[in-house]
Amino acid sequence: MKFITFEGCDFCGKSTQIQLLKEHFKINNHKVFLTREPGGTELAEKIRELILSFKEIKDPLTEYLLVSAARKDHVDNLIKKKLQQGYYVLSDRFYDSSICYQGYYKGLDANILKTIKELIIGAFEPDLTFLIDIPEDEIEKRMCTKRVNNNIYDTKPKDFYKIIRSGYLKIAHENNDRVFIIDGNKKIADVNAQIIKIIKEKIL
Ligand code: TYD
Protein backbone atom coordinates (compact mmCIF):
# COMPACT_ATOMS: atom_id res chain seq x y z
CA MET A 1 0.00 0.00 0.00
CA LYS A 2 2.37 2.66 -1.12
CA PHE A 3 0.95 4.55 -4.06
CA ILE A 4 -1.25 7.37 -2.77
CA THR A 5 -3.07 9.88 -4.94
CA PHE A 6 -4.79 13.17 -4.19
CA GLU A 7 -7.79 14.34 -6.15
CA GLY A 8 -10.22 17.22 -6.05
CA CYS A 9 -11.38 20.40 -7.75
CA ASP A 10 -9.01 23.30 -8.20
CA PHE A 11 -8.67 25.33 -4.97
CA CYS A 12 -9.59 22.36 -2.77
CA GLY A 13 -6.23 22.58 -0.98
CA LYS A 14 -4.75 19.32 -2.21
CA SER A 15 -1.29 20.78 -2.91
CA THR A 16 -1.03 21.96 0.72
CA GLN A 17 -2.23 18.62 2.04
CA ILE A 18 0.09 16.56 -0.14
CA GLN A 19 3.05 18.62 1.11
CA LEU A 20 1.99 18.11 4.72
CA LEU A 21 1.69 14.37 4.20
CA LYS A 22 5.13 14.30 2.60
CA GLU A 23 6.55 16.01 5.70
CA HIS A 24 4.77 13.48 7.92
CA PHE A 25 6.39 10.56 6.09
CA LYS A 26 9.79 12.25 6.23
CA ILE A 27 9.56 12.98 9.96
CA ASN A 28 8.74 9.32 10.49
CA ASN A 29 11.80 8.25 8.48
CA HIS A 30 9.93 6.86 5.52
CA LYS A 31 11.20 7.28 2.00
CA VAL A 32 8.69 9.47 0.21
CA PHE A 33 8.46 10.81 -3.33
CA LEU A 34 6.09 13.53 -4.50
CA THR A 35 4.92 13.77 -8.09
CA ARG A 36 2.01 15.08 -10.15
CA GLU A 37 -0.14 14.51 -13.23
CA PRO A 38 0.01 15.40 -15.96
CA GLY A 39 3.76 15.40 -15.40
CA GLY A 40 6.43 13.79 -13.29
CA THR A 41 8.97 12.72 -15.92
CA GLU A 42 10.73 15.03 -18.38
CA LEU A 43 8.57 13.80 -21.24
CA ALA A 44 5.34 13.98 -19.22
CA GLU A 45 6.19 17.50 -18.02
CA LYS A 46 6.63 18.55 -21.68
CA ILE A 47 3.22 17.07 -22.48
CA ARG A 48 1.80 18.93 -19.47
CA GLU A 49 3.20 22.23 -20.78
CA LEU A 50 1.69 21.49 -24.16
CA ILE A 51 -1.76 20.71 -22.72
CA LEU A 52 -1.85 23.68 -20.36
CA SER A 53 -0.51 26.11 -22.98
CA PHE A 54 -3.65 25.63 -25.05
CA LYS A 55 -6.61 27.84 -24.25
CA GLU A 56 -8.69 24.73 -24.53
CA ILE A 57 -8.30 21.34 -26.17
CA LYS A 58 -11.89 20.92 -27.24
CA ASP A 59 -11.83 17.27 -28.25
CA PRO A 60 -11.76 15.17 -25.07
CA LEU A 61 -10.27 12.13 -26.81
CA THR A 62 -7.32 14.17 -28.07
CA GLU A 63 -6.80 15.58 -24.60
CA TYR A 64 -7.14 12.15 -23.02
CA LEU A 65 -4.62 10.62 -25.43
CA LEU A 66 -2.11 13.32 -24.50
CA VAL A 67 -2.72 12.85 -20.77
CA SER A 68 -2.51 9.08 -21.24
CA ALA A 69 0.80 9.27 -23.09
CA ALA A 70 2.17 11.32 -20.20
CA ARG A 71 0.69 8.83 -17.72
CA LYS A 72 2.31 5.84 -19.41
CA ASP A 73 5.75 7.41 -19.24
CA HIS A 74 5.11 8.52 -15.66
CA VAL A 75 4.00 5.08 -14.44
CA ASP A 76 6.57 3.03 -16.39
CA ASN A 77 9.61 5.20 -15.81
CA LEU A 78 9.03 6.87 -12.48
CA ILE A 79 6.20 5.66 -10.25
CA LYS A 80 6.89 1.91 -10.54
CA LYS A 81 10.64 2.45 -10.11
CA LYS A 82 10.17 4.52 -6.97
CA LEU A 83 7.76 1.96 -5.53
CA GLN A 84 10.30 -0.80 -6.19
CA GLN A 85 12.92 1.26 -4.37
CA GLY A 86 10.67 1.35 -1.30
CA TYR A 87 9.30 4.88 -1.59
CA TYR A 88 5.83 5.98 -0.70
CA VAL A 89 4.77 7.72 -3.89
CA LEU A 90 2.32 10.62 -3.54
CA SER A 91 0.77 11.92 -6.74
CA ASP A 92 -1.14 15.17 -7.12
CA ARG A 93 -3.86 13.79 -9.45
CA PHE A 94 -3.98 10.52 -11.40
CA TYR A 95 -6.50 8.57 -13.49
CA ASP A 96 -9.55 9.74 -11.49
CA SER A 97 -8.86 13.24 -12.88
CA SER A 98 -9.32 11.85 -16.40
CA ILE A 99 -12.65 10.31 -15.45
CA CYS A 100 -13.79 13.69 -14.10
CA TYR A 101 -12.32 16.20 -16.53
CA GLN A 102 -12.35 14.27 -19.82
CA GLY A 103 -15.23 11.95 -18.88
CA TYR A 104 -17.84 13.65 -16.71
CA TYR A 105 -17.07 17.20 -17.82
CA LYS A 106 -16.18 16.85 -21.51
CA GLY A 107 -18.31 13.80 -22.18
CA LEU A 108 -15.71 11.21 -23.20
CA ASP A 109 -17.25 7.75 -23.17
CA ALA A 110 -16.53 5.70 -20.05
CA ASN A 111 -15.58 2.63 -22.13
CA ILE A 112 -13.00 4.61 -24.08
CA LEU A 113 -11.53 5.92 -20.83
CA LYS A 114 -11.30 2.41 -19.42
CA THR A 115 -10.02 0.71 -22.58
CA ILE A 116 -7.16 3.17 -23.04
CA LYS A 117 -6.37 3.09 -19.34
CA GLU A 118 -6.06 -0.70 -19.43
CA LEU A 119 -3.87 -0.43 -22.50
CA ILE A 120 -1.46 2.01 -20.91
CA ILE A 121 -1.31 0.96 -17.25
CA GLY A 122 -3.10 -2.40 -17.10
CA ALA A 123 -4.43 -3.17 -13.63
CA PHE A 124 -2.07 -0.71 -11.94
CA GLU A 125 -3.93 1.69 -9.66
CA PRO A 126 -3.43 3.73 -6.50
CA ASP A 127 -3.55 1.88 -3.20
CA LEU A 128 -5.25 4.83 -1.59
CA THR A 129 -6.83 8.02 -2.89
CA PHE A 130 -7.82 11.11 -0.95
CA LEU A 131 -10.59 13.16 -2.46
CA ILE A 132 -10.42 16.62 -0.92
CA ASP A 133 -13.99 17.77 -1.24
CA ILE A 134 -15.24 21.34 -0.97
CA PRO A 135 -18.65 22.76 -1.96
CA GLU A 136 -18.99 24.85 -5.13
CA ASP A 137 -19.61 28.15 -3.31
CA GLU A 138 -16.42 27.64 -1.28
CA ILE A 139 -14.49 27.03 -4.53
CA GLU A 140 -15.84 30.32 -5.88
CA LYS A 141 -14.83 32.15 -2.71
CA ARG A 142 -11.31 30.74 -2.84
CA MET A 143 -11.06 31.49 -6.56
CA CYS A 144 -11.89 35.17 -5.92
CA THR A 145 -9.39 35.43 -3.07
CA LYS A 146 -6.53 33.70 -4.87
CA ARG A 147 -7.18 35.04 -8.37
CA VAL A 148 -5.04 32.29 -9.91
CA ASN A 149 -5.34 31.97 -13.66
CA ASN A 150 -2.79 29.27 -14.33
CA ASN A 151 -4.82 27.25 -16.74
CA ILE A 152 -8.13 27.13 -18.52
CA TYR A 153 -9.86 25.23 -15.73
CA ASP A 154 -9.11 27.99 -13.22
CA THR A 155 -11.47 30.37 -15.04
CA LYS A 156 -14.47 28.08 -15.42
CA PRO A 157 -17.94 28.98 -14.12
CA LYS A 158 -19.66 27.44 -11.12
CA ASP A 159 -21.42 24.82 -13.24
CA PHE A 160 -18.05 23.35 -14.18
CA TYR A 161 -17.15 22.76 -10.55
CA LYS A 162 -20.57 21.26 -9.90
CA ILE A 163 -19.98 18.64 -12.59
CA ILE A 164 -16.42 17.90 -11.47
CA ARG A 165 -17.41 17.69 -7.83
CA SER A 166 -20.34 15.34 -8.40
CA GLY A 167 -18.14 13.25 -10.71
CA TYR A 168 -15.53 12.86 -8.00
CA LEU A 169 -18.15 11.97 -5.40
CA LYS A 170 -19.51 9.30 -7.75
CA ILE A 171 -16.01 7.84 -8.19
CA ALA A 172 -15.56 7.85 -4.42
CA HIS A 173 -18.82 6.01 -3.84
CA GLU A 174 -18.05 3.45 -6.51
CA ASN A 175 -14.57 2.81 -5.12
CA ASN A 176 -15.12 3.18 -1.40
CA ASP A 177 -12.40 0.69 -0.53
CA ARG A 178 -9.80 2.93 -2.21
CA VAL A 179 -11.11 6.50 -2.25
CA PHE A 180 -11.63 8.45 0.98
CA ILE A 181 -13.63 11.65 0.96
CA ILE A 182 -11.99 14.32 3.09
CA ASP A 183 -13.87 17.44 4.10
CA GLY A 184 -11.66 20.20 2.68
CA ASN A 185 -13.73 22.90 4.34
CA LYS A 186 -12.11 22.21 7.69
CA LYS A 187 -8.94 23.90 8.99
CA ILE A 188 -5.70 22.85 7.25
CA ALA A 189 -4.41 21.11 10.39
CA ASP A 190 -7.66 19.20 10.88
CA VAL A 191 -7.69 18.01 7.26
CA ASN A 192 -4.09 16.87 7.69
CA ALA A 193 -4.96 15.03 10.91
CA GLN A 194 -7.81 13.20 9.22
CA ILE A 195 -5.55 12.12 6.34
CA ILE A 196 -2.87 10.87 8.74
CA LYS A 197 -5.47 8.95 10.73
CA ILE A 198 -6.55 7.09 7.59
CA ILE A 199 -2.92 6.51 6.55
CA LYS A 200 -2.22 4.95 9.96
CA GLU A 201 -5.28 2.72 9.76
CA LYS A 202 -4.64 1.62 6.19
CA ILE A 203 -0.92 1.68 5.65
CA LEU A 204 1.55 2.31 8.46
P1 TYD B 1 -2.96 22.17 -12.42
O2 TYD B 1 -2.60 23.59 -12.58
O3 TYD B 1 -1.92 21.24 -11.88
O4 TYD B 1 -4.28 22.06 -11.57
P5 TYD B 1 -4.41 21.64 -10.07
O6 TYD B 1 -3.47 22.49 -9.26
O7 TYD B 1 -5.83 21.91 -9.75
O8 TYD B 1 -4.08 20.18 -10.01
O9 TYD B 1 -3.44 21.65 -13.83
C10 TYD B 1 -3.75 20.36 -14.09
C11 TYD B 1 -5.04 20.37 -14.86
O12 TYD B 1 -5.09 19.21 -15.69
C13 TYD B 1 -6.23 20.31 -13.94
O14 TYD B 1 -7.08 21.39 -14.17
C15 TYD B 1 -6.95 19.04 -14.31
C16 TYD B 1 -6.38 18.65 -15.63
N17 TYD B 1 -6.28 17.19 -15.83
C18 TYD B 1 -7.12 16.58 -16.75
O19 TYD B 1 -7.93 17.24 -17.40
N20 TYD B 1 -7.04 15.22 -16.92
C21 TYD B 1 -6.17 14.45 -16.22
O22 TYD B 1 -6.13 13.20 -16.39
C23 TYD B 1 -5.30 15.09 -15.27
C24 TYD B 1 -4.31 14.29 -14.49
C25 TYD B 1 -5.39 16.47 -15.12
Q: Tell the residue nearest (CA) to atom 17 of ligand 1.
A: 97
Ligand 1 centroid vs 167 CA: distance in angstroms?
15
Ligand 1 centroid vs 57 CA: distance in angstroms?
13
pLDDT for 181: 98
pLDDT, tens only, 74-117 = 999 999 999 999 999 999 999 999 999 999 999 999 999 999 99
DSSP assignment of the chain equals --EEEEE--TTSSHHHHHHHHHHHHHHTT--EEEEESS-SSHHHHHHHHHHHHSS----HHHHHHHHHHHHHHHIIIIIHHHHHTT-EEEEES-HHHHIIIIIIIT---HHHHHHHHHHHHTT---SEEEEEE--HHHHHHHHHHH---SSGGGG--HHHHHHHHHHHHHHHHHTTTTEEEEETTS-HHHHHHHHHHHHHHHT-
CA–CA distances in Å: residue 102 to residues 29, 32, 169: 38, 29, 16
Where residue 193 falls among pLDDT bands split at 50, 70, 90?
Answer: very high
pLDDT for 176: 95
Strand 88-92 relative to strand 128-133: parallel, antiparallel, unpaired? unpaired
- Pocket probe mutation, ligand 1, options 7, 97, 143, 168, max atoms within 8 Å of Cβ: 97
CA–CA distances in Å: residue 18 to residues 80, 89, 91, 144: 19, 11, 8, 23
pLDDT for 139: 84
pLDDT for 150: 56
Model's pTM, two decimal places? 0.94
Closest approach atom of ligand 1 to CA 51: 12
- % of the chain residues with pLDDT over 70: 93
Average pLDDT, the chain: 93
**Distant-in-sequence, close-in-space partners of 80: CB < 8 Å, separation ≥ 6:** 124
Show the ligand 1 pocket: residues with CB < 6 angstroms.
10, 37-38, 67, 92-93, 97-98, 101-102, 150-151, 153
pLDDT, tens only, 155-183 = 676 689 999 999 999 999 999 999 999 99
